[in-house]
């Protein structure tokens, strides 16, 4: 798929205010600084579409972008850990969970993972949560230009091993670099194939 047009549509915190035209949508989520804005901008070939970390505060919303007037790319706020007295638990705005679990046109959640890191508890918890809710997701490893292919393969294997402790099958796995645009074509083609299967 070639991205011909990518336009901002609306930002909000309420699912009821999200677009209602029924177009399919694909959400991108991950911990803050994972490289989400850079990846979105790389995918659509527009360096300014999603705001990168340099401009904080802009991403605590559900952001809808329309691509080729055909499907929505949804930029979600990052999740983090809330340190409570006894345990760490995933901290995120309630509206994100509501969006993810109730949005009927949401086809796939791209969960962004920093390829330089060994499996992180918070990311595993988030993916397990998606699995428990029956939400289709893919694993997208970011910043692969920052490590050797040996180190990358090691972290990928560790992630796969962790995931297979909980699930019988692995979700689709993508490796990406916003610097080299590696992974762009595969992700766009993946989306294209799903869109085509609905037509
Ligand atoms: P976000 O908070 O998840 O939206 O993350 P950003 O897209 O703002 O990226 C966080 C930092 O990582 C920025 O300094 C980016 O320049 C850097 N970054 C993001 N993606 C890549 C990548 O693929 N390769 C490299 N080398 N740096 C990246």
pLDDT at 86: 60
CATH number (domain holding residue 30): 3.40.50.300
Number of domains within the chain: 1
Candidate from 31, 35, 181 with most ligand 1 atoms within 8 A of CB, to mutate: 35
The answer to whether the CB of 58 is under 6 A from ligand 1 is no
The pair of three-digit structure tokens given for residue 102, joined into one six-digit string: 């109730």
62 or 59: whose pLDDT is higher? 62
Please tell me the distance between residue 36's alpha carbon and the centre of ligand 1 in angstroms. Answer: 7
> Of 93, 79, 94, 99, which is closest to residue 10 (Cα–Cα)?
99
d(CA 179, CA 146): 10
Whether pLDDT at 101 is above 70: yes
In this predicted structure, the answer to whether residue 34 has a pLDDT above a threshold of 50 is yes
Cα 3 to ligand 1 centroid, rounded to whole Å: 21
Domain span at residue 65 reads 6-197
Ligand 1 centroid from CA 177, angstroms? 9
Q: What does the pLDDT look like over 60-98, one tens digit per residue?
A: 889 999 999 999 999 998 887 666 556 666 667 788 999
CB 37 less than 6 A from any atom of ligand 1? yes
- The average confidence (pLDDT) of the chain is 91
pLDDT of residue 60: 80
Q: Is residue 1 part of a domain?
A: no
Does residue 113 lie within any of the structural domains? yes
In a domain, 121, yes or no: yes
Copy the structure tokens of residue 161.
Answer: 């091993």
Under DSSP, is residue 16 helix (H, G, I), strand (E, B) or coil?
helix
**Hunting for tokens 């055909």 — which residue is that?**
70
For range 103-109, the mean pLDDT: 97
Q: Using alpha carbons only, what angle is made at residue 78 by residues 91 and 164, rounded to the nearest 5 degrees?
A: 80
- pLDDT score recorded for residue 55: 46
Asked whether residue 52 is assigned to any structural domain, the reply reads yes
What confidence tens digit (pLDDT) does each residue in 147-197 have?
999 999 999 999 999 999 999 999 999 999 999 999 999 999 999 999 999
């Amino acid at each position: 798929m070639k991205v011909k047009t990518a336009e901002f549509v609306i930002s909000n915190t309420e699912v009821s205010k999200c677009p209602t035209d029924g177009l399919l949508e694909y959400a991108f989520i991950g911990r803050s600084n994972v490289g989400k804005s850079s990846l979105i901008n790389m995918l659509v070939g527009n360096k300014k579409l999603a705001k990168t970390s340099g401009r904080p505060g802009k991403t605590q919303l559900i952001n809808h972008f329309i691509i080729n007037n055909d499907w929505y790319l949804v930029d979600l706020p990052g999740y983090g850990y809330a340190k409570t007295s006894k345990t760490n638990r995933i901290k995120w705005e309630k509206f994100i969970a509501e969006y993810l679990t109730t949005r009927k046109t949401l086809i796939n959640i791209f969960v962004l993972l920093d390829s330089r890191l060994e499996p992180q508890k918070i990311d595993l918890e988030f993916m397990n949560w998606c699995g428990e809710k029956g939400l289709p997701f893919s694993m997208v490893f970011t910043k692969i230009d920052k490590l050797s292919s040996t180190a990358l393969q090691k972290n990928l294997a560790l992630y796969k091993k962790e995931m297979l402790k909980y699930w019988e099958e692995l979700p689709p796995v993508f490796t990406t670099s916003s610097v080299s645009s590696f992974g762009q074509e595969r992700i766009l083609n993946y989306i294209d194939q799903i869109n085509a299967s609905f037509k």
